[in-house]
Amino acid sequence: MFIEPNLSGERRGWIEVICGSMFSGKTEELIRRLKRAKIANLKVEIFKPAVDKRYDDNDVVSHDANIIPSTPIDNSQTILLMAQDVDVVGIDEAQFFDAEIVNVCEQLALRGVRVIVAGLDMDYQGKPFGQMPNLLAIADFITKLHAICMKCGNIANISYRKTSEGGQVLLGEKETYEPRCRKCFHE
């Protein structure tokens, strides 16, 4: 990703969205980018939805057990209050946030903040998930990651739910979900 130099000295923000299915490496990529920002001595704040307690109540943890400290929050407006005087904001599991997450990201970018958002672009039915489509629409940079289909070995872009439990939101890991390609998902 090439960022054109800003010769006016004014700090410009932007929005990066990392999306894909479960087990595609979204959180891993988010953590990688945030750690690089910290190495560059940038002030970084990381947020996750309070509802996501799968690996840790507070930290953002990838399926590969990479960890970065974060702040769990109940609503996206809290990010604006807690992200004062920062260079980079990381947001994990954005699909679980309320509708205001899009405006929050836009306001941060207008403040000159680099915003890095990770989340599922589709739910277990292969439908757009939460506010992710709206975040993708306003993003300056988009990275779509793929997992490997557990049935055939091709690239996977859908999180197949292995249980019959209903509801769009069901937090789970490998016992509940597996990545599937389009063909295997629809069979």
**Catalytic site positions:** 93
Structure tokens at 13: 């923000």
Residues 144 and 126: their CA atoms lie apart, in Å, by 15
Instruction: Please state, as a whole number, how many other Cβ atoms lie within 10 Å of the Cβ of residue 40.
Output: 10
Torsion, Cα 151 142 45 30, to 10 degrees, reads 30
Element (H, E) at 44: strand 44-49
CA nearest 155: which of 20, 32, 60?
20
Residue type, 54: R
**Ordered strands of the 44-49 beta sheet:** 71-73, 44-49, 88-91, 114-120, 14-20, 141-145
